[in-house]
A and B are shown apart, each in its own frame.
Chain A
Amino acid sequence: MSTVVGEMDHHDHHHHAPSGITRWLFTTNHKDIGSLYLWFSFIMFLVGGSMAMVIRAELFQPGLQLVEPHFFNQMTTVHGLIMVFGAVMPAFTGLANWMVPLMIGAPDMALPRMNNWSFWILPFAFAILLASLFMEGGGPAFGWTFYAPLSTTYSGDSTALFVFSVHIMGISSIMGAINVIVTIMNMRAPGMTYMKMPLFVWTWFITAFLLIAVMPVLAGAVTMVLTDKYFGTSFFDAAGGGDPVMFQHIFWFFGHPEVYIMILPSFGIVSAIIPAFSRKPLFGYASMVYATAAIAGLSFLVWAHHMFTTGMPVFAELFFMYCTMLISVPTGVKVFNWVATMWRGSISFETPMLFALAFVILFTIGGFSGLMLAITPVDFQYHDTYFVVAHFHYVLVSGAIFSIMAAAYYWLPKWTGHMYDENLGRWHFWCSLISVNVLFFPMHFVGLAGMPRRIPDYALQFADINQIVSIGGFAFGLSQLIFLWLVIKCVRGGEKAPAKPWEGAEGLEWTVDSPAPYHTFETPPQVK
C-alpha cells in the first residue's frame, strides 16, 4: 500500500482533467469512466424504453395496428436485452466506478487500463445488437431468454450477431467485476476493515463475485446456441441426443444470480440513503451484510423456479420451491432493517429519499408477487403470463431503476459540484411514481385473468386494462425526460454544492470537495 502511495506522489501533480474527445477515449480515471458508464446506460435506457413504447403502442388495442408479430417479437427481445445488459448493469458499474474508490479512500480503481477497456467495448456490443435489427429477417426475435430450439434451428441469421454481442457484454461485465473485487480487497484506506465498509461497497463486492461466477455460464450458453445453429452440434436438439430443457437449466443457472446482480447494489444504495435522510445510523449493519451474502448464496440454488412447467420430477419441483421461498427470509430482514432505521429518526424528504422510500415499498410488492410465484402449484397458473411481467418490472423498474435514480440524486452534487433543482426532482419523482404504478400494477390483473406474455394481440376481455397500462407506459417514458433535463441543468450550473450537502450523510466520499477533484485520496485517509 505505501509503495503505491509513494508512486502517486511522483506522478500526479496536475489536478486538471485533460480535455477534448481523447480525454474520454483514453481515460483511465475512475470518475471519467464512471460518468461514461452512467451516460451510456441512460442512453440505452431511452433506446430500450422507446422499444417498450412500440410494444405498448401495439398493445393499446386488440388487433394488429402498428407492427407485425415478427417485429413485435424483436422489440420484446431487444428491449429486454438492452434494459438488462445496457441500462441496469452498466448503471451499477458506473456507480461502482465513481463511488467505490471514494467510499473506501482509494485513489482510483485497481486496474485502470482494464477499466477503460471494459467500458469501451460496450458501445460496440450494443451497436452490433442494434444493427442486427436492420438485417434481412430482422434482429433476434426469440425473447431475451433465447430458449432453444427457437434460437437455434428456427432463428434468423442475426443470431450470430446476437451471440457475438452477448459475448462482448459478458467480457465487459467480467472485467468490471474483477476490477471491483481487486480494488476492494487491496485498496481500502488504512483502518477500513471489511466490516466498516459502506453497504454499497459490500453489496457490490458480493455482486462482483456473482458476476464472475455466472457470466461465463452465459457465454457457454450462447456459444452452444452458436454451434448448434451453425456447426452441426446437438446440445439442445433431441434428434441428435441433446435436450432443449438443458438449455433452460444452463440459462437460468446464469439467469437467476443475474437477477440478484441487478438488485444487490440497489440494496447498498438504499442502505446509504435511508440512514442519511433519517439522520440515524443504519439498523443492523452486520445482519445486512449477512443477508446479502445469504441471498447471493441462495441465488445458485433456485434457478429452476423459472422452469416449473417444463416437466421436472416432483422432488425437484419441491426442492426449488422451498429454496425459493427461503430467499424471502434474508430479503425480509433487509426490508425490516430499513424500516427500523427510519423508526424514531428525524426524516426529511429530499428527492433521493423519495426514490429510496418508493424503492422499499414497490420492491417489497415485487417481493410479494415473487413469493406467490415461488409456490409451484400456483406458478403453473402464473407462469409466462403478465403476472410475471408485472412481478419482474416491479423489482427491476421500481426496484433497480428507482434505486439508480435515488443514487443519481444523492451523488449528483458530488459529481457535478452543483445542487440539482429540487423542484424538478420532485416532479420527476411524482410523475414516475404514479405512472410506474399505472403501468405495472394492472399487469397483475390481466396476468391473473389469463393473458400470456410476449403476444402482440390479445382477447377482448384484456382490452380495458391494456389501454390503462399503455397510458401509464407513455407517461412513465415521458417522465424520464424530466430527469434528463434536470441532469443537464445540474451539470451546467446551479447552486454551489458543499462537500457534504446532506446533513445526515456519512462516509469518506463526503470528505472531499464537490465536485470531487479529478484525483482524490492520493494520500489515503485514516479510518477510525
Chain B
Amino acid sequence: MRTRLITALVAGLPLAASAQSQFNLTQGVTDISNRVYDLHMTIFYICCIIGVIVFGAMFWSMFRHRKSKGRKPATFHENVKVEIAWTIVPFLILVGMAIPATSTLIAMEDVSESEVTVLVTGSQWKWHYRYFDHEVEYFSLLATPRDQITNRLDKGENYLLEVDRPLVIPTGKKVRFLITSDDVIHSWWVPAFAVKKDANPGFINEAWTRVDEPGIYRGQCAELCGKDHGYMPVVVIAKEPAEYEAWITEQETIQREAKEEEQRLLSMSMSMEELMELGERVYLGSCAACHQPNGQGIPGVFPSLVGTEMVKNDIPGHIDIVVNGKNGTAMQAFANQLSLREIAAVVTYERNAWGNDTGDIVQAADVNEYVNQ
C-alpha cells in the first residue's frame, strides 16, 4: 500500500497538472493566480523528489536490511558530516522556495493604483456589494432552491455555487476589494483569482484582482460563520469594460427609480392578500434560515415567532426589530436589505401566519417612521 501510494502520487502528476482538474488547484484566470499555481506545483514537485529519496532509502532498508535475510546489524550511530549536510541542504532548498514566494506575496499585497473599488460586506449568510464610484449596491444571496438542498428536487449544475445577483467587474482593470463584515468573521474567496481575504467585523481588509478573460467565476465563504456557512457562495461575472459600463449605468438608474417609486408608494395601501403573498416570499428568502419556515426557530438559538408576546401584542417593537435588528444577536437590521414594502409585508405575514392570526396589517408608511428615526 505504501509503495502504491507513492507510485500513485508520482503517476498522478500529469493528471494533476491539467488546468481545471478535479484533483488540483485551479490555475485561475489572473496573472497572480497563475504565479500562485506555478509556485504550488514547484513546491509540490520538490516535495515529491525529497519524498522519493527519503522513502526510497527507507524501503531499500526495509527490503535489504531484514533480519529474515540473516542481516547482522551495523553498529554506527552518528556521523557529524552527514548530519551537518542534511541540516544545510534542506535549508538551502528552503531559501530557493522562499525567493519566488516572497516576490509573489509582495505583488499580491500591492493594492495601489486600482481603477474600480467595491466594498464587500459579509453577513450571516450573504454578501453585500457596494460600488464606490456609482450609486449601486445590492445583496447577493444563495439562489439554489431549498428543495434541491433537501433532496426533493434534482440538483442543478451549479448547486450551492449560484446566487441571485452576482458581483460584476470589468475585465482588464485593477479591481480593489475592501472587505468587511456586519457580524461574525467571513472570508471572501474566489479560487480563480487566488483571492481569499477574511471579512472582519469592525475592520476593513484589502485585496485586488485583474481579470483578463470575461466569464463567470464561483467561490464560497471560507471561514466558519455559523449555521449556514456552507450556503454563502460568491459569484463574480467579469465583463468587457464597455459592457460593464452599460451594466453599471443601468443599475444606477434602476436603483434610483426604485427609491423614488418607494417614496411615491408610501401613501398607497396594500391589501391583506397582497401583503401576505409578498410577505411569505420575503420571509422564506430572508428570515426562514434562522426562524425556520414554520416560524418556530431553533430552541435556544433562534427564537420562535409563533404566539410570542411581541408577535401577538407589540407592533412597534416588531417593526423596530426587523428594521434595526437587535444588538448582540444574530438578528440583523433589515432596513438596508429590504424595501419598506417588503418589511411591511413580512411583518404582516409574521403576525398572521402559523396560527398567529392577529389580523394586524402593517403598511409601508408605518415602517417608514422607524427607518427615519
Contacts and interface: CB of A to CB of B under 8 A. Distances in A.
B58 to A, nearest CB: 5
B264 interface: no
Among B149, B161, B198, B330, residue most surrounded by chain A Cβ atoms (within 10 Å): B198
A371 interface: yes
A403 B40 CA distance: 30
A280 interface: yes
Interface stretch (A39-47, A63-71, A484-492): A63-71
B77 A283 contact: yes
Given A282-B77, A318-B102, A380-B36, A454 B43 contact: no
A322 B98 contact: yes
B35 A377 contact: yes
Contact of B24 (A244, A437, A445): A445
Contacts of A456: 230
A463 to B, nearest CB: 9
A38 to B, nearest CB: 28
Interface in B27-53: 35-36, 39-40, 43-44, 47, 50-51
A519 to B, nearest CB: 34
Interface string A258-290: 000000000000000000001111111111000
Interface residues of B, number: 101
B97 A157 contact: no
A285 B196 CA distance: 43
Contact of B77 (A137, A280, A372, A454): A280
A494 B123 CA distance: 61
B151 A384 contact: no
Interface stretch (B179-187, B276-284, B335-343): B179-187
A441 B5 contact: yes
A245 B201 CA distance: 9
A325 B46 CA distance: 14
B372 interface: no
Q: Which residue among B39, B58, B194 has the maximum number of chain A CB atoms within 10 Å of its CB?
A: B58
Contacts of B221: 452
B82 A340 contact: yes
A375 B194 contact: no
A457 B144 CA distance: 12
A371 B328 CA distance: 40
Contacts of A285: 77-78
A339 B55 CA distance: 8
Contacts of A452: 189, 220-222, 229-230
B86 A138 contact: no
A280 B61 CA distance: 13
A465 B22 CA distance: 9
Contacts of B299: 136-137
Interface stretch (A99-107, A147-155, A297-305, A510-518): A147-155
Interface in B145-182: 148-151, 155, 157-161
A150 B124 CA distance: 11
A70 B227 contact: yes
B329 A450 contact: no
B184 A149 contact: yes
A371 B90 CA distance: 12
A283 B197 CA distance: 45
B300 A309 contact: no
B191 A450 contact: yes
Contacts of B105: 314, 317-318, 321, 376-377
B298 interface: yes
B274 interface: no
Given A325-B94, A437-B5, A345 B73 contact: yes
Contacts of B82: 340
Contacts of A464: 22
B368 interface: no
B246 interface: no
Interface string A405-435: 0000000000000000000000000100110
B36 A377 contact: yes
A481 to B, nearest CB: 20
A461 B229 CA distance: 19
Contacts of A63: 148-151, 155
B104 interface: yes
B24 A310 contact: no
A124 to B, nearest CB: 23
Contacts of A64: 149-151
A448 B184 contact: no
Contacts of B5: 437, 441
B184 A137 contact: no
A494 B73 CA distance: 31
B140 interface: no
B160 A149 contact: no
B143 to A, nearest CB: 13
A98 B261 CA distance: 78
A504 B65 CA distance: 15
A137 B298 contact: yes
A63 B101 CA distance: 38
B268 interface: no
B359 interface: no
Contacts of A453: 224
A384 B187 contact: yes
Interface string A343-368: 11111100000000110110011001
B74 interface: yes
A1 B149 CA distance: 68
A342 interface: yes
A383 B195 CA distance: 11
Given A347-B65, A378-B43, A380-B36, A244 B201 contact: yes
Interface string A125-157: 000000000011110011100010110011011
Given A325-B94, A375-B39, A434 B75 contact: no
A311 interface: yes
Given A64-B149, A284-B77, A310-B200, A157 B58 contact: no
Interface string B65-98: 1111001111111110011001100110010011
A493 interface: no
B87 A329 contact: yes
B287 interface: no
Contacts of A70: 227, 298, 301
Contact of A154 (B73, B149, B160, B330): B330
Contacts of B62: 342, 347, 357
A280 B47 contact: no
Contact of A339 (B61, B74, B106, B225): B61
A223 interface: no
B21 interface: yes
Q: Which of A150, A361, A375, A377 is the most central at the interface, judged by chain B CB atoms within 10 Å of its CB? A: A377
Nearest to B43: A372
A132 to B, nearest CB: 11
Contacts of B101: 321, 375-378
A139 to B, nearest CB: 10
Contacts of B155: 62-63, 460
Contacts of B157: 460
A113 to B, nearest CB: 40
A73 interface: yes
B31 to A, nearest CB: 12
Given A65-B151, A238-B203, A309-B197, A434 B300 contact: no
B39 to A, nearest CB: 5
A347 B67 CA distance: 5
Interface in B189-245: 189, 191, 194-198, 200-203, 205-206, 219-231
24 contacts: A63-B148, A70-B301, A153-B183, A153-B329, A237-B202, A243-B203, A244-B200, A245-B198, A245-B200, A280-B74, A282-B77, A284-B77, A310-B205, A311-B200, A311-B205, A328-B90, A343-B57, A347-B65, A357-B58, A377-B101, A378-B40, A378-B101, A452-B230, A461-B22
